[in-house]
């Protein structure tokens, strides 16, 4: 492929007039500096990667460019003239468009209606619909304009967002973590479209990401941010995964951890796997048998069976929205199965009965801790002892001194920082909140640990910590069920991998058998072959 060289030449030719120049941008939130003296140039005809950990300031920078956040200092120059971007409308008028990380589509409307949403002009329905179809076709974004968004997969929804953005013909296109809900194949397709858009129409693209692999694959130039500052700017061809990782984290990190945290699936799948341990002689601690769950007429869990033995980490992989949330809810006693059983340590547990799973020894780190893992408006000490407040009470009366003592010990053991036991849980940072949840769940000496998206939204340090805790839990004999949409996390931690698609188990692999390709096929809903020795698939 010769395109990096082409891009390099193209960049040289147009370097005199970047599409956007951000100079000395600074933004503070109280004592925290989100962006410190940041310079960034986006050049027409180039994809510019903005790489950094969570909280490095990438999103803030992009919000400044789109007018959602006003900088405290610095200037924005678009097409050679200084501008002030008050709001997203001004940004749109200047030709800046953004595809947000969180999709903002109206599910009950059709594709073309969603694309036109927010337009102020009067329009003719038929013409408008045709125009949307034409835009989609022009960019090779195959989609039915009359389909309802609620029927679309995450990948297609992302496509709608992209069409919505491209229809306004932006000269500058910002994509904020666009692949977080996509399968590897869908991501690849997205990048192919982007390269095409850039090459044919000389648009400037900023790709915000914390995944090394996609920055290496898709970008021409890369800016690496750390703690609000630009630490490195370079042509992508001159970088490697490890050099990017080092710049991003600010120190050398082990390849495995950095690969897991930063999204380099290939490095993980190609890395030699430690000798696969056998768990056949260990007792089956968790058995989910033929679980069925129907919600609103849709079968969200379909004849799902998963077993986890003591000391084993079983990873449940899958694209978001394929039953992971419901599986987590079942293990949190939040829903009642329509059919099937859950057995913990040899005893059947009634699903959907308040606290039954917790009493049976199931600890849960929930997918959305704000949803079922904590109470934001209660103190850290309260949250640490949520399920066993009785242990610090006598005759029903809580001893605050005793509670504070136990809480302080737990906070020390699990390294919860920046708060005291009386601080409001909601005032903690995400990483520390997650540590509080972990501390509570692990200190209840569980038999089973269900960790759903345990590292979502955490920075590399916190991810490292969480990963080592999960490994330690398994080594101590706990059966660990890891539910994650991050393939890297699954590959990094699991002994065995179960792939979920539309509420079914599509396939089950030992870690040593897992390759990106096989996982990718399973994720896309193509079942594992009955006999996985043959190289070709789907031919029979």
Q: Which spans of this chain sit near another protein (rule: CB under 8 A)?
A: 29-32, 34, 54-55, 59, 63, 68-69, 100-102, 104, 332-334, 354-359, 364, 366, 371-378, 382, 386-387, 389-390, 393, 396-398, 400, 418, 422, 426-431, 457
Q: Which residues contact 211 (CB under 8 A, 6 or more apart)?
A: 179, 262, 263, 264
For the CB of residue 338, give the shortest distance to another protein in the complex, in Å: 18
CB atoms within 10 A of CB 309: 20
Nearer to another protein by C-beta: 168 or 537? 168
DSSP state of 148: B
User: Looking at beta carbons only, is 76 or 514 nearer to another protein?
Assistant: 76
Smallest separation (angstroms) from another protein to the CB of 422: 5
Q: Cβ of residue 333: shortest distance to another protein, in angstroms?
A: 6
Nearest CA to 191 out of 369, 47, 78 is that of 47
Q: Residue 287: name the closest of 338, 368, 353, 360 by CA.
A: 360
CB of 68 to another protein, least distance (A): 5
Closest to 463 (Cα-Cα) out of 265, 260, 224, 256: 260
If the CB atoms of residues 428 and 499 are measured against another protein, the closer one turns out to be 428
Distances from the Cα of 483 to the Cα of 189, 314, 473, angstroms: 26, 8, 15
Residues facing 501 on adjacent strands = 504
Q: Are 105 and 157 in contact (CB under 8 A)?
A: yes
Q: What is the 3-state secondary structure (H, E, C) of 396-445?
A: CEECHHHHHHHHHHHHHHCCCCCCCCCCEHHHCCHHHHHHHHHHHHHCCC
In the bound complex, what is the minimum distance in angstroms from residue 372's beta carbon to another protein? 4
Place of tokens 């709001």: 87
Nearer to another protein, 366 or 503 (CB): 366
Contact call for residues 218 and 184 (beta carbons, < 8 A): no
Q: How far is the CB of 301 from another protein (least distance, A)?
A: 18
Nearer to another protein, 104 or 108 (CB): 104
Could you tell me the smallest distance in angstroms from the CB atom of residue 14 to another protein? 32
**Nearest distance in Å: CB 176, another protein:** 8
Identity of the residue, 54 or 494, whose beta carbon is nearer to another protein in the bound complex: 54
Of 214 and 382, CB closest to another protein: 382
CB of 382 to another protein, least distance (A): 7
User: What does the alpha-carbon distance between residue 142 and residue 159 come to, in Å, rounded to a whole number?
Assistant: 9
Query: Least distance (Å) from another protein to the CB of residue 472?
Result: 24
Q: Which residue has the tokens 């000496």?
A: 445
Closest CA to 470 of 252, 313, 246, 324: 313
Helix (H, G, I), strand (E, B) or coil at 21: strand
Quick one: tokens of 136? 């989609």
CB atoms within 10 A of CB 170: 19
Listed in sequence order, the residues at least 6 apart from 200 whose beta carbon sits closer than 8 Å to its beta carbon are none
Q: Indicate the residue among 252 and 371 with the shorter CB distance to another protein.
A: 371
Decide whether 450 or 519 has the Cβ nearer to another protein: 450
With respect to another protein, which residue has the nearer C-beta, 294 or 389? 389
Give the pairing type, strands 393-394 and 397-398: antiparallel
**Smallest distance, Å, CB 424 to another protein?**
9
Shortest separation between residue 473's beta carbon and another protein, angstroms: 19
Residue 7 structure tokens: 């891009």
Q: Are strands 504-510 and 496-501 parallel, antiparallel or unpaired?
A: antiparallel
Pull the structure tokens for residue 4: 């990096």
Nearest to 212 by CA among 272, 258, 273, 158: 258
User: Residue 195 or 456: which CB sits closer to another protein?
Assistant: 456
The answer to whether 75 and 81 are in contact (CB under 8 A) is: no
C-beta of 305 vs 423, nearer to another protein: 423
Residue located via tokens 């915000």: 208
Q: Is 17 or 375 the residue whose CB approaches another protein more closely?
A: 375
User: For residue 165, what are its two tokens?
Assistant: 């953005």
> Closest distance between another protein and the C-beta of residue 445, in Å?
16
Q: How far is CA 397 from the centre of its chain?
A: 42
């Amino acid at each position: 492929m010769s395109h990096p060289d082409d891009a390099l030449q193209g960049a040289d030719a147009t370097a005199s007039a970047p599409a956007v120049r951000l100079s000395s941008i600074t933004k503070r939130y109280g004592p925290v500096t989100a962006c410190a003296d940041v310079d960034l140039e986006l050049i027409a005809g180039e994809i510019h990667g903005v790489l950094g950990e969570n909280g490095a300031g990438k999103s803030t920078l992009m919000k400044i460019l789109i007018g959602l956040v006003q900088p405290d200092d610095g200037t924005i120059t678009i097409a050679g003239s200084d501008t002030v971007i008050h709001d997203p409308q001004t940004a749109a008028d200047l030709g800046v468009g953004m595809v947000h990380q969180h999709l903002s589509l109206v599910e009950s409307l059709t594709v073309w209606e969603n694309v036109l949403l927010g337009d102020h002009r009067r329009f003719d329905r038929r013409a408008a619909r045709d125009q949307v179809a034409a835009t989609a076709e022009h960019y090779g974004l195959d989609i039915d304009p009359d389909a309802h968004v609620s029927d679309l997969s995450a990948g297609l929804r992302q496509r709608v967002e992209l069409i919505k953005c491209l229809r306004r013909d932006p000269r500058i296109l910002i994509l904020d973590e666009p692949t977080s809900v996509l399968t590897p194949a869908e991501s690849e397709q997205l990048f192919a479209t982007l390269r095409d858009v850039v090459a044919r129409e000389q648009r400037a693209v900023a790709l915000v990401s914390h995944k090394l692999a996609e920055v290496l694959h898709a970008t021409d130039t890369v800016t690496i941010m750390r703690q609000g500052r630009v630490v490195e700017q370079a042509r992508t061809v001159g970088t490697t995964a490890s050099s990017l990782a080092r710049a991003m984290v600010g120190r050398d990190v082990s390849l495995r951890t950095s690969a897991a945290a930063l999204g380099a699936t290939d490095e993980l799948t190609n890395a030699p796997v430690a000798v696969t341990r056998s768990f056949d002689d260990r007792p089956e601690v968790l058995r989910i048998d033929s679980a069925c769950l129907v919600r609103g007429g849709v079968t969200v869990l379909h004849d799902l069976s998963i077993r986890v033995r003591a000391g084993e980490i079983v990873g449940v992989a899958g694209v978001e929205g394929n039953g992971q949330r419901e599986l987590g809810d079942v293990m949190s006693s939040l829903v009642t199965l329509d059919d099937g059983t859950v057995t913990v340590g040899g005893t059947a547990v009634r699903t959907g009965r308040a606290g039954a799973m917790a009493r049976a020894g199931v600890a849960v780190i929930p997918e959305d801790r704000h949803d079922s893992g904590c109470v934001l408006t209660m103190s850290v000490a309260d949250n640490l002892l949520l399920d066993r407040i009785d242990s610090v009470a006598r005759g029903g009366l809580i001893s605050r001194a005793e509670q504070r003592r136990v809480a302080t010990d737990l906070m020390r053991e699990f390294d919860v920082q920046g708060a005291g036991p009386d601080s409001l849980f909601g005032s903690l940072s995400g990483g520390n909140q997650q540590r509080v949840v972990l501390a509570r769940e692990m200190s209840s000496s569980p038999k089973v640990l269900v960790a759903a998206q345990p590292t979502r939204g955490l920075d590399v340090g916190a991810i490292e910590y969480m990963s080592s805790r999960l490994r330690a839990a398994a080594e101590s004999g706990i059966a660990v069920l890891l539910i994650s949409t991050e393939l890297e996390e699954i590959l990094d931690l699991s002994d065995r991998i179960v792939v979920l698609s539309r509420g079914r188990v599509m396939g089950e692999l030992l870690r040593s058998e897992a390759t990106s390709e096989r996982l990718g096929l399973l994720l896309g809903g193509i079942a594992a072959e009955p006999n996985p020795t043959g190289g070709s698939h789907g031919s029979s």
